[in-house]
Structure 1
Amino acid sequence: MLRYFDTSVILLSILNDPRRDEGLKYLKQGGLTSELGLVELVSYLSRNLNEDPLPYAIKIINTFNIKIMNINGLRLSPFGDLTEVAHLAINVSRQVKLRTLDLLHLTYALLLNVDEIITADKEFIKAEKFLKERNITLNIVK
């Protein structure tokens, strides 16, 4: 089973949060995140540490065997060449009504053909029906 981790659940591994234990159960099973997830993780660490965040990000990613994935390719659109991610996100946005970063995570998950999205972000509930129609399970850590 391919699972995609939204940054919110990856961050639970280092936060003092009541959802931490449940998040760790998912993280210990390993999975995928996108370049976006990595950038968000490093951004969070850089704002909350007084030292280089990269060793911490590497440790978190390696501890939970999270594979960082990217999507290559361009699509021609009325706006010119767009990345696959931007192209699909624009097309999906009307159906799911998510905030931009959540929409991009969902788009990566679709393009990576995952079976499951794990998040600690309740906002994703807006996309539950959309995901179910595509046989993708949504698990919101509570």
Structure 2
Amino acid sequence: MSYVDTSVIVAAFDKLNSRQRMAREVLEEGERKIVSELVLTELASILSKREDMLLELSRKLKVREELIVPVVILYILRRFKLSYRRVDGYRRIFMIGNLYSPFATAVDMSSKFKLKTLDLLHLAYVKTLMEQGEGINELITVDHNFEREREIIKRELNVDVKILGSSSE
């Protein structure tokens, strides 16, 4: 099973992105793919900046403007058969207190993985979802920041990183 990073979904809809075709092909493959609430939140943020498109869609679909972002996200999930998986619970961080599980995991993992904040959070979601029983064996992204961490991710989490458009793919 694969965890899909937001960057893949964005690339699939970006006509100017050289990896659009590749992203669509990967998303349309039959293997089960999951996304987290982080992906949903990033998509909502990206979509909300496209006001003209949302207004036009709202009129065409006869959906109230305040509901169009969730409707588009639902369309994306269904279009590519992506499953949203929720993360439950909190974990205690020494001398800090309780944090939402993916954030606590990100804090714990930050000394091992030198990634940007959102990339680290995606990886923390992968680890947390695996701890909840999801059989994730691959993280799919177009983000080349994962390249330098690929080996340690494989060693520590037993998860392959598939970077679309990478020479090693």
Q: Partner residue of 2:48?
A: 46
Structure 2 stretches lacking a partner, 5+ long: 55-67, 131-135
Given residue 140 of structure 1, which amino acid in structure 2 is its aligned partner? I
Q: Partner residue of 2:90?
A: 74
Greater strand proportion: 1
Q: Which of the numbers 150, 154, 162 marks the counterpart of 1:139?
A: 162
Structure 1 stretches lacking a partner, 5+ long: none
Q: Partner residue of 2:81?
A: 65
How far the C-alpha of 1:75 sits from its partner, in A, is 1.3
Q: CA RMSD in A?
A: 1.2
* TM superposition score normalised by structure 1: 0.93
How far the C-alpha of 1:126 sits from its partner, in A, is 2.8
How far the C-alpha of 1:129 sits from its partner, in A, is 1.5
4+ runs of 1 displaced by more than 3 Å? none
Comparing 105-114 and 33-42, the one that deviates more:
105-114
SS at structure 1 position matched to 2:112: helix
How far the C-alpha of 1:12 sits from its partner, in A, is 1.5
Kept after mapping to 2: 8 A contact 1:13/1:20: yes
Which protein has greater RCO, CA pairs closer than 8 Å, 6+ apart?
A: 1
Distance 1:38 1:127 in 2: 24
Q: Partner residue of 1:9?
A: 8
Kept after mapping to 2: 8 A contact 1:96/1:126: no
Kept after mapping to 2: 8 A contact 1:85/1:107: yes
SS at structure 2 position matched to 1:72: coil
Aligned length: 141
The reply to whether residue 115 of structure 1 matches residue 137 of structure 2 is: yes
Kept after mapping to 2: 8 A contact 1:98/1:126: no
Given residue 61 of structure 1, which amino acid in structure 2 is its aligned partner? L
Kept after mapping to 2: 8 A contact 1:89/1:104: yes
Structure with larger Rg: 2
Given residue 119 of structure 2, which amino acid in structure 1 is its aligned partner? D
Percent identity of equivalent pairs: 31
* TM superposition score normalised by structure 2: 0.79
